[in-house]
Amino acid sequence: MPEELTGITVAFLVAPEGTEQVELTEPWKTVEATGGTAKLVSTESGTIQAFNHLDKADTFPVDATTDATGADAYDALVLPGGVANPDFLRADESAVAFVKSFFDAGKPVAAICHAPWTLVEADVIRGRTLTSFPSVRTDVSNAGGTWVDEEVVVDKSGPNTLITSRKPDDLPAFNASLVAEFAKTHA
């Protein structure tokens, strides 16, 4: 892959446990392979516990906590999925504020699988078109978003670019779109 993200720092926001490992590691590898810097942000310091669906997988060190950092320290945000991860995040005020700060700053955000639950809680999808894991469809609609069943959706109708995908099978399209859109942050 070409080095399209050189000079760009991307925050990956995850809860202390419950993130779907492949939805964290594959976009992370893509950011680094294209010259970007990836940073793990969570609601607690230490390490996070990732999962392969319902089974514990690897742990990863946290670089910063949501109560000690903000959008000003990053150029873009990735929200990995997993069922538990966004459910924990949407119940944490500092995590919700962290996500909302990227929209307020006009910085690009990419969310996959169940991650739009956190976007719903941050009240940032009204009038936007996005996708997610199908079980999140009603929540997206109730929050004023338009849900579509597509591999990847890039919505530029709001204050920032929002990239969404449905599931791990969509990661190649998700990763290609986040690189293309994040690269525009320094263009």
Place of tokens 């290609």: 176
Residue 28: φ, ψ to 5°: -60, -50
| Parallel/antiparallel/unpaired status of strands 162-165 and 109-112 | parallel
| CA dihedral sign, ordered 177, 55, 87, 145 | positive
Q: How far is Cα of residue 95 from the mean position of the Cα atoms in its chain?
A: 12
Q: Are 4 and 30 in contact (CB under 8 A)?
A: no
Query: 3-class SS at 166?
Result: coil
* 113 classed as catalytic: yes
Catalytic residue among 113, 115, 136, 152: 113
Mark out the alpha helices in the chain (DSSP H runs): 21-33, 84-90, 93-104, 116-121, 137-142, 171-183
Annotated catalytic residues are 113
